[in-house]
Amino acid sequence: MADLSVNLAGIASPNPFWLASAPPTNTGYQVQRAFEAGWGGAVWKTLGNPIINTASRFAGLHIGTQRVAGFNNIELISDRPLEVNLKEIYETKRRFPNHALVVSIMVEPKREAWHEIVKRVEATGADGLELNFGCPHGMAERGMGSASGQVPALVEVQTGWVKEAARTPVIVKLTPNITDITATAVAAVQGGADAISLINTINSLMGVDLDTWNTIPHVAGKGAHGGYCGPAVKPIALSMVAECARHPEVNVPISGIGGIAAWRDAAEFMLMGATAVQVCTAAMHHGFRIVEDMIDGLNNYLDEKGISRVSELVGQSVGKYANWGDLDLNYRIVARIDTETCISCNKCHIACEDTSHQCIERHVDANGKPYLKVREEDCVGCNLCAIVCPVDGVISMAEMPSEAPPMTWNERQRALAILTKQPEGSSAKEVAKP
Catalytic residue numbers? 135
- Calpha distance 178→191 (Å, rounded): 19
- Calpha distance 251→429 (Å, rounded): 39
Question: Which secondary structure element, helix H or strand E, spans residue 92, and what is its range?
Answer: helix 82-95
Is residue 72 helix, strand or coil?
strand
Distances (CA, A) of 75 to 84, 140, 251, 283, 385: 19, 13, 32, 17, 41
Q: Of 299, 298, 395, which is closest to residue 356 (Cα–Cα)?
A: 395
- Calpha distance 413→173 (Å, rounded): 39
Phi-psi region of 157 (alpha: psi -120 to 50; beta: other; left: phi over 0): alpha
Q: What are the two backbone dihedrals, phi and then psi, of residue 59, each rounded to the nearest 5 degrees?
A: -150, 145
Distances (CA, A) of 258 to 71, 103, 174, 240, 358: 11, 19, 12, 10, 37
Q: What are the two backbone dihedrals, phi and then psi, of residue 102, each rounded to the nearest 5 degrees?
A: -110, 145
Q: Facing residues of 372 across strands? A: 362
Distances (CA, A) of 97 to 22, 89, 121, 261, 419: 22, 11, 16, 26, 66
Burial of residue 167 (CB within 10 Å: 0-12, 13-18, 19+) is exposed
Angle at 145 between CA 165 and CA 216, to 5 degrees: 150
Q: Of 91, 93, 57, which is closest to residue 77 (Cα–Cα)?
A: 57
